[in-house]
Amino acid sequence: MEILNFAKKYYSDKKFNHACRVASYATSDYLLPQNIKYSLWKVALLHDIIEDTACTEEDLKKSNLLDELEYQAVVLLTHHKEDCSYEEYIIKLVESINPYVLPVKRADMKDHLMLADILTDKQKNKYYSTVKYIL
């Protein structure tokens, strides 16, 4: 699949594995319609591509791998740390009307919290203090 090659091009192995787990969690509800599942899977797979790699919004847009709603979800899921705190970022996601944002962010937080034993105290505080917004 072209989208997997695109993700592998930018992500480290560790980040790629994280993105794959998030995609799996986001699409695990068997009641989701297939077209929604595939869109969620794509957004989840690329949810960190702009924030954590050299991929830019323009690179992602030019790839033509996502429709406009999916692309906007990935952009919304990108935390620009210089612009707002993590809590403000989470609140922005909660207030978003994009249907892919919250399921993907929940899956992302689930994956991070599954690794609670190896998170730093700073990371634990970040996730534990904001999980209330997305549940």
For residues 70 and 80, the answer to whether their CB atoms sit within 8 Å is no
Q: How far apart are the first and last CA of the chain?
A: 32
Q: What is d(CA 19, CA 9) in angstroms, rounded to the nearest whole number?
A: 13
Measured from the Cβ of residue 61, the count of other Cβ atoms closer than 10 Å reads 14
Distance, CA of 38 to CA of 36 (rounded, Å)? 5
Instruction: Tell me, yes or no, if the pTM score tops 0.75.
Output: yes
Sketch out the chain's domains with CATH numbers.
Answer: 2-134 (1.10.3210.10)
At residue 92, the pLDDT reads 96
Residue pLDDT, tens place only, 58-116: 999 999 999 999 999 999 999 999 999 999 999 999 999 999 999 999 999 999 999 87
